[in-house]
Amino acid sequence: MKSKWIYLITFLVMLNVAFINANPVQAYQQKECDNNSTKWYCSDWYSGDFEYEEDSDSIGGDYQLNYDGAGVYYWEIAWDEILMLSEPRLWVHLNESKFRADAMYMVLYDDSGFGAEMIGSIDQNTAPGGWSYIGRGDSNGTGSEYTTIYVYALGGDDNLGADAIRVRENY
């Protein structure tokens, strides 16, 4: 009888150690969206005078540039399933010396009335080339299949660039 208790206690201790050392896994979806994307889940549009330009260092070999900094560029990502929209994380691809705007990145959760919120900003002129992490939005809303990211220049007449974004949503 005593050996059964030892085995039971040993089993419970080992089980406890396994749960203490286990890292919680959080499921998420992550997608990239280029300007002029042909991916089924990605659409983009803009207001203002953006010009299409080609550059092999950009995602997809191209980017959009607004020389007067007065426009707004939008990317909309369609998800595989309805998400809880839990704290979207955003990265942007900046690898063009013509990008010089102090840019503000916002998230809008479809047209359901949840509104927009700022994720973060970056000086496109001094940002390192490649992917830059912008930030994480607050948990806001439930039940959408879309996340819309948009960027605009904070300061006015600097060159506002739009190349690509990467968004990660938890579910």
Q: To the nearest whole number, what is the mean pLDDT of the chain?
A: 80
* Residue 51 lies in domain: 27-170
* pLDDT score for 50: 92
| Model pLDDT for residues 97-117, shown as the tens digit of each residue | 999 999 999 887 655 545 677
Tokens 């959760």, located at residue: 109
In total, how many domains does the chain have? 1
Is residue 34 included in any domain, yes or no?
Answer: yes
Is residue 17 included in any domain, yes or no?
Answer: no
Which CATH number fits the domain that encloses residue 154? Answer: 2.60.120.260
Is residue 109 included in any domain, yes or no?
Answer: yes
Is residue 1 included in any domain, yes or no?
Answer: no
Is residue 45 included in any domain, yes or no?
Answer: yes
Higher pLDDT, 23 or 108: 108
Residue 156 has pLDDT above 80, yes or no: no
Higher pLDDT, 91 or 29: 91
The pTM (predicted TM-score) of the whole model is 0.78
Upper half-sphere CA count for residue 103 (Cβ side, 13 Å): 34
Is residue 82 included in any domain, yes or no?
Answer: yes
For 55-58, which contacts have Cβ atoms below 8 Å and span 24 or more sequence positions? 55/95, 55/96, 57/95, 57/96, 57/129, 58/93, 58/95, 58/96, 58/163, 58/164
| Model pLDDT for residues 44-76, shown as the tens digit of each residue | 999 989 999 999 989 999 999 999 888 899 998
* pLDDT score for 23: 47
Is residue 49 included in any domain, yes or no?
Answer: yes
| Model pLDDT for residues 76-100, shown as the tens digit of each residue | 888 877 766 567 889 999 999 999 9
| Residue 9 binned pLDDT confidence (cut-offs 50, 70, 90) | low
Is residue 13 included in any domain, yes or no?
Answer: no
Tokens 């990211």, located at residue: 149
Q: What is the percentage of the chain residues whose pLDDT exceeds 90?
A: 35
